[in-house]
């Protein structure tokens, strides 16, 4: 990104435990101008066959887009009299430390916050059939080669709509003010000239219910020529209008480009500090009580009105505002505590309670500013913007439209969703010991997961300053796992798969014993590792050691890593955690010469794509050889971006603290699960019991038995039921600790097994429609005000099961809200009690709250009355002797 300075903070060991809020530009407000002779009072323009744009010159002018089937319902609209397109050139500063990133706004060289509309043009297919670029060239559209324009419109449904005009900044020495009712408008007369740039805003129908938008600006140009005299629909004094016209005659440019007219701006341009816009702003209307959902996997909030949401892939942080752990993490490692907005898998997408939805395309860093009650401002770090506006009548319909475009996950093989996935370490003997215990308690098991994110096994372990970690050299350590193949074959004979771990980073192995290959040196020789500015291998600090990161923009990197995966699978492995993906430095140099910040957000998708392509290739070979389709492979990831659901088979939520806290504990695991589901991440789950423990004299976070048991009950209703020993196994209670934990683990695994039939249906539905297995109630009860305010308190499994887990220490009851807008009652599965729909004084059905007992072993779970899904679930619980 132009104008971005990057500072490394990896090795700062004493830091401010309360880091300041990143510096940023204020909310941009600008005025809209137009020529009332050219733009009539009220006009409508076609966008494709199904959408229309309405223009009104009233109240200063505004636009509104609607679908032809509902012309009175706007899916996107601007604010009367105010600019909806602005741009700026700003010196930004990024700080990074071990996968954590923050971007500050520095000096603003210029901000063009005011906007004109010169033309609204309808472009028909016949206009560009012979020479596609002509119609765009006549309007000065940048980069308008035949190839560019064909690519732009090849999927469009004509006609296309183009709005063209200019953005500018007014430097005024005196200001005249005119009060018009409640609105105060400013008209300036400046002795200095303004900076002016042309813009082009294209609207094109992409499908029956989607509009694509493209925003581009002209290049810098030092020329100046007379422009156009603008009129507005606002009545002002004659002398003020003359002054405005004089100003426009001075500052408006010809067909293209910027005009830097002040001597200061001209000198800055000659220095070459910033030569183009690097921030684009799109501002449009929002209702006061409109609620916003989505934005990827978010761990602190599900609804975002009033917040400023950054879209940047990074480590989620340790604590994320929960104390005292965030204080400690920030103190010893720069900003590593994170905050409410930091996440592994953001997405520039939302759905609102008004059934409006929009998402950005591309991979630019962006910020959705929802802090104003009546408007939204999207800040895109780049010199252009593109995205889509969706039309739908329900959250489910909008989510289907969205995932239809970005992609949906494949159907998971039955083996991964049939029983518990047991995370283990310690070598062959330790695994056999725990397996024997699980058999005694009749625990249904899908797989043994011989890995730990930081506590590895299969590739060998080493001790570091933060504990036991693995060697990131992706081959089995046969000393640590003697009889590796025999162990895998033994499990397979009992219909249990073995899963492992890998990531896109490699570590020097000079000190590692028992190695057959040195993958770091091999990748270095092939020149497929990310480079620094000096052209050397970029050694990236990660946890307690430095690593090299694979450059998947290099044509050799993908095929090379697939060979590593093939060797792993050839030993009998059938699944793996594909970790990391969020740590590409913002000052990295890649083979493809991509903008580093865009490459940073895209990297998780590239990493997922490599794994998915290998899975597909392996499955194709299996089909050819006539092998069992249940031998399908599975991998799961934590890092992601907008398009990751297309490539990643399964997600997990990363490294929650072993705590009851809201921002980075058991509660946050539900918040992340629900927000990601609304954002198209259909298959997601968390580590049972959390991951991150802290065991120092002043601050202790240790997994208690009660927390572990309650997390078991929670995850019995996620798509995958998987354990993790955590980063400090000795400090954490484990499922195999005693008879109580083992028996409870067996009970929850059987509850999980009891709804397998429904889980299979939901997995197929996710692959076909993009709907998540675990759902926020907003997806099915969007008009219920109480539902709109829910965060982690309860959730749906599909549409037929509702769960309200215990999320606080020593609690034995929960408050449950029963939505009834669909006219259904809910039955408590343990007591059989039916929670009926009460009526209010007007005789209307309304939702209601009730306290429900939830002692350990009996989480608050409900099924819809009369549901065959609920009846079969309860029948299976009886067969398993749970009910």
Kindly write down the DSSP assignment for every residue of 53-120, as one continuous string: EEEE-GGG-EEEEEETTEEEEEEEEPPTTB-SEEEEEEEEEEEEETTEEEEEEEEEEEEE-EEEEEEE
SS3 28: coil
Give CA–CA dist 631/570, Å, rounded.
12
Which 8-state DSSP code applies to residue 215?
E
Catalytic residue among 265, 477, 582, 713: 582
Give CA–CA dist 481/28, Å, rounded.
60
Q: Is 872 exposed, middle or buried (0-12, 13-18, 19+ CB in 10 A)?
A: middle
Contact status, residue 762 vs residue 773, Cβ threshold 8 Å: yes
Contact status, residue 662 vs residue 696, Cβ threshold 8 Å: no
Both tokens assigned to 198 = 């042309």
Is residue 339 part of the annotated active site? The answer reads: no
* 149-158 core/surface letters (b: 16 or more CB in 10 A; e: else): beebbeebbb
The residue behind tokens 């490692």 is 333
SS3 565: helix
Parallel/antiparallel/unpaired status of strands 157-169 and 801-804: unpaired
CA 115 to each of CA 173, 255, 510: distance values in angstroms, whole numbers, following the listed order? 20, 16, 60
- CB 35: neighbour CB atoms within 10 A? 16
* 599-638 core/surface letters (b: 16 or more CB in 10 A; e: else): bbbbbbbbbbbbbbebbeebbeeeeeeeeeeeebbbbbbb
- CB 234: neighbour CB atoms within 10 A? 18
Catalytic residue among 297, 655, 713, 800: 655
Give CA–CA dist 98/583, Å, rounded.
7
Parallel/antiparallel/unpaired status of strands 575-578 and 634-637: parallel
How many helical (H) and strand (E) elements, i.e. helices and strands, does the chain have?
19, 44
CA triple 864-870-873, angle to 5 deg: 155
Alpha helices in 252-344 (DSSP H): 263-271, 325-332
The residue behind tokens 């092998």 is 627
CA triple 409-412-413, angle to 5 deg: 155
CA 377 to each of CA 178, 214, 287, 300, 382: distance values in angstroms, whole numbers, following the listed order? 26, 16, 13, 22, 15
What Rg do the C-alpha atoms of the chain give, in angstroms? 29
**Separation of CA 307 from chain center:** 16
Is residue 510 part of the annotated active site? The answer reads: no
SS3 534: coil
Element (H, E) at 399: helix 395-406
Both tokens assigned to 224 = 């100046």
Contact status, residue 650 vs residue 416, Cβ threshold 8 Å: yes
Give CA–CA dist 103/747, Å, rounded.
47
Sequence-separated (6 or more) residues with CB below 8 Å from residue 780: 395, 396, 796, 799, 819, 822
70-77 β-sheet, strand order: 42-47, 51-56, 62-67, 70-77
Q: Tell me what percent of the chain is helix, strand and coil, each rounded to the nearest 5.
A: 25, 30, 45
Catalytic residue among 95, 96, 204, 579: 579
Is residue 579 part of the annotated active site? The answer reads: yes
Return the active site residues.
Answer: 579, 582, 655
């Amino acid at each position: 990104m132009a104008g971005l300075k990057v500072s490394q903070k990896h090795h700062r060991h004493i830091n401010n435990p309360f880091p300041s809020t990143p510096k940023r530009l204020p909310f941009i407000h600008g005025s809209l101008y137009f020529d009332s002779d050219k733009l009539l009072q009220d006009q409508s323009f076609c966008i494709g066959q199904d959408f229309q744009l309405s223009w009104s010159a009233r109240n200063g002018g505004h636009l509104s887009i609607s679908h032809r089937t509902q012309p009175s319902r706007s899916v996107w609209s601007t604010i009367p009299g105010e600019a909806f397109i602005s741009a700026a050139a700003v010196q930004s500063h990024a700080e990074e430390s071990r996968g954590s990133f923050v971007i500050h706004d520095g000096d603003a060289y210029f901000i063009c916050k005011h906007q004109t509309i010169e033309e609204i043009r309808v472009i028909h297919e016949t206009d560009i059939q012979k020479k596609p670029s002509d119609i765009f060239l006549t309007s000065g559209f940048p980069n308008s080669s035949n190839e560019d324009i064909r690519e732009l419109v090849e999927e469009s449904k004509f006609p296309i709509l183009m709005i063209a005009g200019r953005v500018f900044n007014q430097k005024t020495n005196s200001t005249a003010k005119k009060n018009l009712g409640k609105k105060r408008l400013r008209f300036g007369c400046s002795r200095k000239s303004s900076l002016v740039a042309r813009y082009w805003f294209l609207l094109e129908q992409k499908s029956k219910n989607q509009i694509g938008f493209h925003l581009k600006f002209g290049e810098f140009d030092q020329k100046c020529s007379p422009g156009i005299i603008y009129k507005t629909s606002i009545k002002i004094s004659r002398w003020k209008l003359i002054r405005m016209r004089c100003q426009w005659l001075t500052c408006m440019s010809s067909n293209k480009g910027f005009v830097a007219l002040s001597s200061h701006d001209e000198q800055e341009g000659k220095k070459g500090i910033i030569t183009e816009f690097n921030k684009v702003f799109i501002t449009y209307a929002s209702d006061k009580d409109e609620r916003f959902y989505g934005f990827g996997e978010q761990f602190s909030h599900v609804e975002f009105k009033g917040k400023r949401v950054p879209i940047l892939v990074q480590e989620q942080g340790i604590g994320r505002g929960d104390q005292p752990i965030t204080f400690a993490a920030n103190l010893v490692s720069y900003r590593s505590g994170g905050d409410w907005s930091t996440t592994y898998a953001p997405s520039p997408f939302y759905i609102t309670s008004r059934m409006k939805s929009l998402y950005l395309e591309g991979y630019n860093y962006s910020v959705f500013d929802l802090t104003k009650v009546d408007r939204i401002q999207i800040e895109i770090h780049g010199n252009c913007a593109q995205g889509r506006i969706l039309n739908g009548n329900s959250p489910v319909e909008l989510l289907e439209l969205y995932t239809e475009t970005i992609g949906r996950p494949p159907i998971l093989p039955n083996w991964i969703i049939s029983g518990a996935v047991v995370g283990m370490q310690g070598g062959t003997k330790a695994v056999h010991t725990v397996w024997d215990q699980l058999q005694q308690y009749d625990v249904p098991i899908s797989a043994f997961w011989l890995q730990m994110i930081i506590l590895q096994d299969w590739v060998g372990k080493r001790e570091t300053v933060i504990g036991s970690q693995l060697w990131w050299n992706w081959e089995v350590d046969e000393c640590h796992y003697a009889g590796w193949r025999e162990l895998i074959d033994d499990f397979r004979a009992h219909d249990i798969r073995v899963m492992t771990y890998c990531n896109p980073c490699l570590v020097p192995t000079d000190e590692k014993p028992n190695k057959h290959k040195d993958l770091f040196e091999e990748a270095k020789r092939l020149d497929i590792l990310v480079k620094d500015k000096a052209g050397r291998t970029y050694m990236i600090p990660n946890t307690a050691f430095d690593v090299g990161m694979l450059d998947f923009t290099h044509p050799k990197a993908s095929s090379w890593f697939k060979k590593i995966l093939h060797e792993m699978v050839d030993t009998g492995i059938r699944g793996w955690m594909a970790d990391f993906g969020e740590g590409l430095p913002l000052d990295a140099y890649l083979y493809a010469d991509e903008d580093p910040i865009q490459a940073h957000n895209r990297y998780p998708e590239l990493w997922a794509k490599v794994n998915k392509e290998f899975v597909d290739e392996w499955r194709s070979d299996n089909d050819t050889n006539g092998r069992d389709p249940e031998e399908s492979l599975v991998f799961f990831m934590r890092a992601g971006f907008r398009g990751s659901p297309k490539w990643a088979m399964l997600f997990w939520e990363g490294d929650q603290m072993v705590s009851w806290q809201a921002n980075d504990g058991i509660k946050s695991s539900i918040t992340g699960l629900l927000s990601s589901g609304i954002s198209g991440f259909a298959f997601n789950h968390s580590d049972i019991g959390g991951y991150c423990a802290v065991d120092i004299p002043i601050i202790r976070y240790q997994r208690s038995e009660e927390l572990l048991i309650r997390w078991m009950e929670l995850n019995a209703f996620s798509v995958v039921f998987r354990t993790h020993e955590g980063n400090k196994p000795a400090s954490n209670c484990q499922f195999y600790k005693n008879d109580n934990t083992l028996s409870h683990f067996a009970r929850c695994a059987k509850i999980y097994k009891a709804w397998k039939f429904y889980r299979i249906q939901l997995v197929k539905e996710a692959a076909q429609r993009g709907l998540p297995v675990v759902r926020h109630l907003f997806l099915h009860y969007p008009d219920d005000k109480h539902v709109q305010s829910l965060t982690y308190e309860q959730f749906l499994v599909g549409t037929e099961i509702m769960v309200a887990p215990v999320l606080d220490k020593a609690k034995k009851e929960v408050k449950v809200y029963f939505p009834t807008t669909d006219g259904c009652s809910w039955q408590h599965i343990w007591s059989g009690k039916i929670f009926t729909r009460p009526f209010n004084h007007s005789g209307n059905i309304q939702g209601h709250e009730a306290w429900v007992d939830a002692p350990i072993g009996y989480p608050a779970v409900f099924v819809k009355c009369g549901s065959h899904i609920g009846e079969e679930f309860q029948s299976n619980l009886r067969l398993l002797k749970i009910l």
